[in-house]
Amino acid sequence: MGKRKLESTNMINERHLDECDLSYALRKLGGRWKILILGKLENKTLRFKELKERVGNITERMLILQLKELEADGLVTRTAHPVVPPRVDYELTQLAIDSIPIWRLLEVWGAQHRNETGNSLPYPKEVGSCD
């Protein structure tokens, strides 16, 4: 994929949206997988394979990309151990730990919104799907 032009509409809009702290925070925590990955790392350090098993239907490539973004954003620490076979651990940084109460509030809001708007799941919710 090529580089984006610094003065493209997309880049200008991104800079403008990042001026808003709420928009900036949502960009760091948002997306399909990030909050779920962070939730799986809450109170524990996990190896890549363990994290992939707990997250579920994420591809290995997508998990790697999301972990790289979370690490670059200072939310996850990656520790590579010099052993054979290679061992890599992931854990939350203090910055991510400090955001846990926000996740919990969003979870409560999500349940309330789902109930009030009738947007129930068309299938049974998996136990521990967000834990």
- The secondary structure of 39-68, three-state, reads HHHCCCCEEHHHHHHHHCCCCHHHHHHHHH
Mean pLDDT of 119-126: 69
Over residues 101-116, the pLDDT tens digits come to 999 998 899 888 888 8
Q: 32-116 architecture in CATH? A: Orthogonal Bundle (1.10)
**E-strand stretches of 20-115:** 46-47, 76-81, 87-92
The predicted structure's pLDDT at residue 70: 97
Domain ranges within the chain, ordered by starting residue: 32-116
Its pTM stands at 0.80
Q: What is residue 77's predicted lDDT score, i.e. its pLDDT?
A: 98
